Amino acid sequence: MTPKRVSASQREVQPPQPSLTLVERVPGSTIGAGSLFQGHYEILAKLGQGGFAAVYQARQVATGQLVAIKIMRSGIAGDHSRRVARFQREIRLCARLHHPNIVRLIDSGHTPEGLLYTVFEFVPGENLADVLAREGALDPREARHLMLQVLDALCCAHAQGVVHRDIKPANIMVVPTGARRNAMVLDFGIGALVDAMAGPSPNKTVATNEVVCTPGYAAPEQIKAMRPTARSDLYAWGLVFLESLTGKPAITGGSLQEVLLKQMSSAPVPIPRPLWGHPLGELLREALVKDVRERNVDAEGLFWRLQACKVNGLRRESFLEPAARRAQRSQTTLPLRPRASGRGLALVPSKRPSEADRRQLTALCYGLTALGPGPDAMDIEEVEELISREQASCADLVRRHHGRFAGALGDEVLSYFGSDAAPKDGAVSAGRAALELLSRVQSQSARLEAERGIRLEVRIGLHTGLAGNRDMRGPAHALGTTPAIAARLSALAAPDTIVLSSTTSRLLEGPFTLAHGGALPVEGLDRPVEVFLLRGEKGTPS
């Protein structure tokens, strides 16, 4: 929790003494308005309470300085002395951080009852989460200004070997200190404090015995229970920057599990269209690489690149989603992924070959991913071998249904159906192949999960339209919009689902069971695409 906004007039006068009615009892002590904490701090008021800590505004008795005290809400479990020693060691590192954009750590320790606490300077202002909730997207120049300051704070911390662990809007104060607002980063050292605790995980934070993180801003390696590094902070910083530009979190979901799956997915974090081809977009794309081994960035390098980025040509309005598009997206009833940028096969303009070389085909695109229990149990070479082997088996399955291989990009594979058959027959073969693909992957996933804790996921998209049909002795040519739409539908599909365009659904609605999914915007097309979910073949036991 962070201090709430205090007006300038409130800062200029002595804070009023609150009535002594709020009292909170913790094991062996009483903390409330008017009480003396650790003999040095007079408690003025309770500011808030989070999953791990309660936050109080207090006055340092010796100096009269206003401070914010965070007190852990549960005792230390396990090896008490080792955990306290580790906490104190990391807090001493944080105490060495002297930077105008870092809230100063004043004191820390543990009570006789084993409650860990930290004391920070009290910063009047409003956290970035509240600013974005009230104002929405920031002007790109304002966002750049604040994020440069956060990045400079991270430069200072990382140079001292300190990793924040939980960069998010709620931990960035926006302070009206002068002619313009400035950013101050809160809670350096709180990650060390929480790591030293054991207890139930709060609703909005994921905890293990070694790591704490907020799922919507956590780097994938943190969710895998790896120790966070400086690159983990920069991934979170990139997500906060995107949120500052758009006014909305970059990673969202209807449940904690959905958010975690999106963070763990190989799908890249979508970059807003106004940043496509802009140096700022490239900078953010590099900071948001999912694989920490390929996230080759550091705070100082990003700082100087962002300093050189010119954002005067960017307009806040261009980052806001039009109301019409929001209405179209709200019609979707199926569990689909958010729009993904830079995923799937690129849209290749048709070169309009002769009609003899063009016919109506059904394109099937599927993406296959593997999720493991952690890096210690499954390394990257093992993942690649597993995916490659499974893709080969799926390719054999597609050929048995008279499909033709068209190409592959990463974990996505494209095939065509109907090159030697009527359009409806080709679509039916593609539908049967998709259902068998899904069944096979789910069966393999169940076996691997039982044996090794590894889960496979497949996303399948089908679209019927005109496509190149030349030289079918080898790979089919991927010309026109047909393969691109199939790839986009695959990228939009939730794990273990089959999504069809309306064109394909009309060919399959007789022999198959379908569910309407509403209209989805597909990049490369001027109007939304009606989508359907393929449930199964009629007359086939489920």
Q: Per mean pLDDT, which of 321-330, 351-360, 411-420, 473-482 is the most reliable?
A: 411-420
More confident residue, 70 or 89: 70
- Phi first, then psi: give them for residue 225, nearest 5 degrees: 75, 25
Q: State the pLDDT at residue 489.
A: 87
CA distance 247 to 240: 10
Strand, helix or coil for residue 152 = helix
CA distance 499 to 516: 10
CA distance 49 to 45: 12
Instruction: Answer left, alpha or beta for residue 128, where phi above 0 means left and psi between -120 and 50 means alpha.
Output: alpha
Radius of gyration for the chain, computed over Cα atoms and rounded to the nearest angstrom:
27
**287: pLDDT confidence band, cut at 50, 70 and 90?**
very high
**282: pLDDT confidence band, cut at 50, 70 and 90?**
very high
Q: State the pLDDT at residue 245.
A: 96
More confident residue, 165 or 237: 237
Q: Going by C-beta distance under 8 Å and a sequence separation of 6 or more, which residues neighbour residue 502?
A: 529, 530, 531, 532
Provide the annotated binding site.
Answer: 70
Q: State the pLDDT at residue 345.
A: 32
Q: Are 454 and 386 in contact (CB under 8 A)?
A: yes
pLDDT at residue 527 is higher than 70: no
Q: Are 187 and 260 in contact (CB under 8 A)?
A: no
**4: pLDDT confidence band, cut at 50, 70 and 90?**
very low
pLDDT at residue 19 is higher than 80: no
Instruction: Answer left, alpha or beta for residue 406, where phi above 0 means left and psi between -120 and 50 means alpha.
Output: alpha
pLDDT at residue 129 is higher than 80: yes
**Lowest-pLDDT range of 102-116, 505-519, 523-537:** 523-537
Q: Are 438 and 429 in contact (CB under 8 A)?
A: no
CA distance 304 to 74: 42
What is the token pair recorded at 542?
A: 């489920």
Give, as one character, the DSSP assignment of residue 189: T
Q: State the pLDDT at residue 283.
A: 95
Please give the C-alpha separations between residue 341 and each of 219, 257, 410, 493, 526, in angstroms, as whole numbers.
19, 22, 15, 14, 16
**Lowest-pLDDT range of 103-107, 254-258, 436-440:** 254-258
pLDDT at residue 423 is higher than 80: yes
Q: Which residue type occupies 214?
A: T
Q: Are 244 and 145 in contact (CB under 8 A)?
A: no
CA distance 300 to 158: 9
**Lowest-pLDDT range of 113-122, 202-211, 476-485:** 202-211
Give me the domains of the chain, ranges plus CATH numbers: 8-121 (3.30.200.20), 126-319 (1.10.510.10), 332-537 (3.30.70.1230)
pLDDT at residue 205 is higher than 80: no
pLDDT at residue 311 is higher than 60: yes
Q: Are 117 and 110 in contact (CB under 8 A)?
A: yes
Q: State the pLDDT at residue 328.
A: 45
Q: State the pLDDT at residue 199.
A: 38
Q: State the pLDDT at residue 448.
A: 83
| Cross-strand bridge partners of residue 120 | 68, 105
| DSSP per position, 28-76 | TEEEETT-EETTTEEEEEEEEE-SSEEEEEEEETTT--EEEEEEESS--
Summarize the confidence of residues 54-80 as an average pLDDT.
77
More confident residue, 21 or 149: 149
Q: State the pLDDT at residue 433.
A: 94
CA distance 462 to 485: 8
Q: Are 406 and 475 in contact (CB under 8 A)?
A: yes
As a whole-number percent, the residues of the chain with pLDDT over 90 amount to 29
Q: State the pLDDT at residue 247.
A: 94
Determine which one of 130, 152, 166, 291 is catalytic: 166
CA distance 305 to 112: 48
Strand, helix or coil for residue 359 = strand
Strand, helix or coil for residue 498 = strand
- For the chain, the farthest-separated pair of C-alpha atoms sits apart, in whole angstroms, at 90
Q: State the pLDDT at residue 239.
A: 97
Q: State the pLDDT at residue 140.
A: 96
Summarize the confidence of residues 126-136 as an average pLDDT.
93
Q: State the pLDDT at residue 331.
A: 43
pLDDT at residue 420 is higher than 60: yes
Provide the annotated binding site for ATP.
Answer: 70
- Phi first, then psi: give them for residue 413, nearest 5 degrees: -130, 135
Q: State the pLDDT at residue 393.
A: 82
Residue position matching structure tokens 């979910």: 533
CA distance 325 to 440: 36
Active-site residue flag, 166? yes
* Averaged pLDDT of the chain: 77
Rounded to two decimals, the pTM is 0.55
**Lowest-pLDDT range of 96-100, 299-303, 375-379:** 375-379
Q: Are 403 and 413 in contact (CB under 8 A)?
A: no
User: What tens digit of pLDDT does each residue of 174-186 get?
Assistant: 998 778 899 999 8
**261: pLDDT confidence band, cut at 50, 70 and 90?**
confident
Summarize the confidence of residues 222-236 as an average pLDDT.
89
**190: pLDDT confidence band, cut at 50, 70 and 90?**
low
| SS percent in the chain: helix, strand, coil, step 5 | 35, 25, 40
| DSSP per position, 100-145 | TTBPPEEEEEE-TTS-EEEEEE---SEEHHHHHHHH-SPPHHHHHH
pLDDT at residue 330 is higher than 50: no
**81: pLDDT confidence band, cut at 50, 70 and 90?**
low
